[in-house]
Amino acid sequence: MKADDEMDNVKARQRINQFIDWGVRALVLGCFIFIWRMYESQQAFIRKLDVQDTAIVQLQKDVARIEGTMVTMETLKRVELYMELLMERTGVNKKVDLTSKGLAK
């Protein structure tokens, strides 16, 4: 009877050891899967950052171009106002239409 109890204890320990071994293997596999998923999501995030960086650089270029155009428009407006002031001071009362199709001939 004592031999049967001892044999049952050995079998129980073997089953427990097998269960622990299986559990540890499953845990290691789960850790590897988790690390791989984290790596994939990190790479996706980095790709999105690259796209956003490209968009930001393009926006900065567009803003610089618009600012340059605004300075040019401001300069043109000042020149136009100065010319109008000169024409008024000199007594010229006719305006020149530079946009008419008659000038293209």
Q: Work out the mean pLDDT of the chain and round it to a whole number.
A: 86
Picking from 85, 83, 82, 78, the residue whose alpha carbon sits closest to that of residue 98 is: 83
Residue 71 in this model has a pLDDT that exceeds 80: no
Report residue 39 as tokens: 């790596």
Higher pLDDT, 94 or 82: 82
Residue 24 in this model has a pLDDT that exceeds 80: yes
How far, rounded to the nearest angstrom, does the alpha carbon of residue 100 sit from its chain's CA centroid? 47
Residue 38 in this model has a pLDDT that exceeds 80: yes
Model confidence at 50, pLDDT cuts 50, 70, 90, reads: very high
What is the rounded CA–CA span in Å between residue 16 and residue 24? 12
Single pTM value for the model: 0.51
